[in-house]
Amino acid sequence: MISLAIESSCDETSVAILEDGRKVLCNLISTQIATHALYGGVVPEIASRKHLEAVNRILAMAFEETGLTPKNIDLVSVTRGPGLIGALLVGISAAKAMSFVLDVPIVGVNHMEGHICANYLAHPDLEPPFIALVVSGGHTYLCRVDGYTNYEVLGSTRDDAAGESFDKVSRVLGMGYPGGPKVQKLAMEGRPGAVDFPRAMMKKEDGYDFSFSGLKTAVINYCHHQDQKGLPINKADVARGFQDAVIDVLTQKSIHLLEDTGLKTLCLSGGVAANGPLRESLERACQSMGVDFYVPPLDLCTDNAAMIGSAGYYHYINRGPSDPAFTADPNLGL
């Protein structure tokens, strides 16, 4: 089965063509980062317009690159949420047009389910059940994956998402958007433990939910306090202290859930999964527990259509197509 997938939930317009659920024939990503960086964050109206400008061009490029024609397509998958409504609608309109004209089924995919499926693309041997830690700009989930379309969310954030906290701390440190890679780079020059920030709800009895807004406030308060006292701020030490706190929480919660469920596989994904020290920390923890650890390569961590194609394929195989009347759902939960 050849499927066409479109992703446009935030600031990346992406089109992929896949064979079945795992073989990527092409995965084209047109990023808007340079435009939004001028404003310090994603501007929803600009994002919609940029998707509109890009989507037909990227679609044409995908056919050119694979040598396939629209007639070869058997299934269309598209992100239907969560995300920015105007941005989502561009991808959905393009996908519905393709599905209608080609008379092939369409599947509306949950973006976060797509992030989980990124690991299927990178690791052909991976099969459920496993624990998924999904960390992106808008969401943080710990879930139990019992089947390709069977998820149980066991933990999520009560306030800010992990990626959002990277973006906000980056802004506080004067580095702007997108924050994750910038904070990671600066943290490499920072000294561990030089500035210590709180780790919220880390005890086992605190459960699997996360809270990152207190950590963000602690960083803001620290900088404010140093400023008021006329004391210097070592930004690299602040970045390192912040990043270490996020990594400790994500690692510890994953360990607790692995212990409690007895599952022997952990899959990390989502934009924050691009963070090198986080990948290393989870890899070490899994090694010491005898747990298999999976994480996609960097280009499949951040937003891309290939992961949406994989999720769409498994949905179609297990549950059939979506009702073509579906529309965008900006707050769609996992």
Stretch that binds Zn ion, among 78-86, 91-99, 133-141, 172-180 (CB under 5 A): 133-141
Instruction: Name which of residues 176 to 205 contact ligand KG4 (CB under 6 A).
Output: 178-181, 184
Binding mask 251-290 for ligand KG4 (x = CB under 6 A): -------------------xxx-xx---------------
DSSP one-letter code for 150: E
148: nearest Cα among 20, 26, 27, 261 = 20
Least distance from Zn ion to the Cβ atom of residue 167, Å? 13
| Of residues 135 and 195, the one with the C-beta less far from Zn ion | 135
Binding residues for Zn ion, rule CB under 5 A, total: 2
Instruction: Name which of residues 18 to 57 contact ligand KG4 (CB under 6 A).
Output: none
Among 7, 167, 237, 244, binds ligand KG4 (CB under 6 A): 167
Q: For residue 126, give the 3-state DSSP assignment.
A: coil
CB 159 within 8 A of CB 212: yes
| Of residues 252 and 302, the one with the C-beta less far from ligand KG4 | 302
- 128 is in the binding site of which of Zn ion, ligand KG4, none (Cβ under 5 to 8 A by kind)? none
Q: For residue 109, give the 3-state DSSP assignment.
A: strand
CB 140 within 8 A of CB 130: no
Distance CA 69, CA 72 (A): 6
- Give, in degrees to the nearest 5, the angle at Cα 22 between 322 and 153: 60
- 178 is in the binding site of which of ligand KG4, Zn ion, none (Cβ under 5 to 8 A by kind)? ligand KG4
Q: Residue 229 corresponds to which tokens in the numbers above?
A: 């006292």
Least distance from Zn ion to the Cβ atom of residue 316, Å? 21
CB 296 within 8 A of CB 8: no
Stretch that binds Zn ion, among 117-125, 136-144, 161-169, 213-221 (CB under 5 A): 136-144
| Of residues 99 and 110, the one with the C-beta less far from ligand KG4 | 110
- 309 is in the binding site of which of ligand KG4, Zn ion, none (Cβ under 5 to 8 A by kind)? none
* Residue 303 in the binding site for Zn ion (CB under 5 A): yes
Distance CA 256, CA 270 (A): 20
- 48 is in the binding site of which of ligand KG4, Zn ion, none (Cβ under 5 to 8 A by kind)? none
170: nearest Cα among 271, 83, 40, 44 = 40
* Residue 249 in the binding site for ligand KG4 (CB under 6 A): no
**Residue 277 burial (CB < 10 Å; 0-12/13-18/19+)?**
middle
Distance CA 242, CA 275 (A): 13
Distance CA 23, CA 27 (A): 11
Residue ranges in contact with Zn ion by CB under 5 A: 136, 303
Residue ranges in contact with ligand KG4 by CB under 6 A: 10, 136-138, 163-164, 166-167, 178-181, 184, 270-272, 274-275, 302-303
